[in-house]
Amino acid sequence: MKCLVWDRKRLKKRFGEKGVKDTELLLDYMTRKGFSILQSEAEKIPEKLKKFEKPNDVFILLGGDELIPFGRVKNPAYDGDEYVYTDNIYSSSDDDLLLPERIVARLPDGGDIEFLHLLIQKLGEDVDKKRSFGMSAKVWKLASREVFRVLNGRRLLLSPPVTYRDIELPSRHTFFYFNLHGSQDTPFWYGQEGNRYPVAITPKNLEEIEYGVVATEACYGAYIIGKKIEESMSLTFLERGVSVFIGSTTIAYGPFKPPSTEADLIVKLFFEEMLKGRPAGKAFNNARHKFFRTMIKTQGFLDEDDQKTLLQFVFLGDPFTRYRR
């Protein structure tokens, strides 16, 4: 079953009665395309999913934090984040939030009902042509190359020397990989060499993007709370035409060199699953389970950074997107 999940009351508060009526018309159209609809108060959605779901169901949350709030989970790591913003409260069928069973995606709204409606209408688009783009902070070049080689990427751009002033993003590549610094206060991603942190890429650099699947290790790469489209890289990627965006809602971790762990590992596993032809939502869920098994096998437990990684990475976009060879 393919199920669209929304909260009518919250949507009305954010977008008014017209927003509700237009959404209901669109959802009625989506039912004719084979989708089921679950309308519920956001606070009751986790329990509703337990009663509603069947094996292999896919649930799509309609809206950002203002419409269907992220879970606020106490941060298991010792850093500047008090909480981890997570969708695992919706994708887990029990109290173990680290190993979700359900496939759950989120279509954000960015304060624009037409943007949300566009994402709904586009559900089911596939990608093809194994062309890859990668960009990393120079300080992480060894670790990033280990991830990028999964995509057979020819050239990993490093920042510095590359910055937002001279970067050119291809319009029709399939996979986009980024390992840069991010911030919850600005929409920019940053490179690093020593104590230099140049702006590597901004939303304005995405004007030629039309297509593709994006995964980023940037801190706050998927932090969309209170953000308009132009204030967020993730929202701008989706607005430009990208089908899938995988990223972290908080401070993320990764190594300086191989082997891949933490953010590097979950992104690497996601790309591997996508290349097998899995639907993106299934690929993301498989990646999380493989991450769990890999860390248990290699170190016997999940440390605080591993736990945070499993909580903080979220799926924005279309869970049905496949890579067609």
More confident residue, 22 or 170: 22
What pLDDT score does 92 carry? 95
Question: Who contacts 310 (Cβ-Cβ below 8 Å, separation ≥6)?
Answer: 88, 97, 98, 99, 266, 288, 291, 292, 302
- What is the arithmetic mean of pLDDT over 105-118? 99
**Structural contact between residues 224 and 217, judged by C-beta atoms closer than 8 angstroms:** no
Question: What CA–CA distance (Å, rounded) separates 298 from 80?
Answer: 28
Cβ–Cβ under 8 Å, residues 203 and 295: no
pLDDT at 144 exceeding the cut of 90: yes
Domains of the chain: 2-121 (3.40.50), 127-324 (3.40.50.1460)
Q: In this predicted model, what pLDDT tens digit does every residue of 49-87 receive, in sequence order? A: 988 777 789 999 999 999 999 999 999 998 999 999 999
pLDDT category at 295 given cuts 50, 70, 90 is: very high
Q: What is the pLDDT of residues 200-239, one digit of tens each?
A: 999 999 999 999 999 999 999 999 999 999 999 999 999 9
Helix (H, G, I), strand (E, B) or coil at 290: helix
Of residues 322 and 170, the one with the higher pLDDT is 322
**Paired sense of beta strands 244-248 and 213-216, if any:** parallel
Q: What is the mean pLDDT of residues 97-102?
A: 94
Q: For the chain, list the strands marked E by DSSP.
A: 2-6, 35-39, 58-62, 71-74, 83-86, 103-107, 127-128, 132-137, 156-159, 175-179, 189-190, 199-201, 213-216, 244-248, 313-317, 323-324
Section 275-288 average pLDDT:
98
Nearest to residue 250, comparing CAs of 288, 222, 231? Answer: 222
**pLDDT above 80 for 97:** yes
Instruction: Assign 145 a pLDDT band (cuts: 50, 70, 90).
Output: very high
CA 289, distance to chain mean position in Å, is 16
User: For residue 44, which phi and psi values (nearest 5 degrees)?
Assistant: -100, -5
- Arithmetic mean of pLDDT over the chain: 97
Q: Give the pLDDT confidence score for residue 64 in this predicted structure.
A: 99
Q: Would the pLDDT of 172 be above 90?
A: no
The token duo for 228 is 């308009």
At 138 the pLDDT is: 99
What is the rounded average pLDDT of the residues 171-186?
95
- Tell me which DSSP letter residue 179 carries: E
Other C-beta atoms closer than 10 Å to the C-beta of 276 total 12
Please classify residue 37 by burial: count the beta carbons closer than 10 Å to its beta carbon, then call 0-12 exposed, 13-18 middle and 19+ buried.
middle
From CA 265, how far away is CA 273, in angstroms rounded? 12
Residue 170 has pLDDT above 90, yes or no: no
Closest CA to 184 of 248, 243, 244, 238: 248
| pLDDT bracket for residue 129 (50, 70, 90) | confident
CA distance 273 to 284: 8
Written as six digits, the tokens of 117 are 């409606």
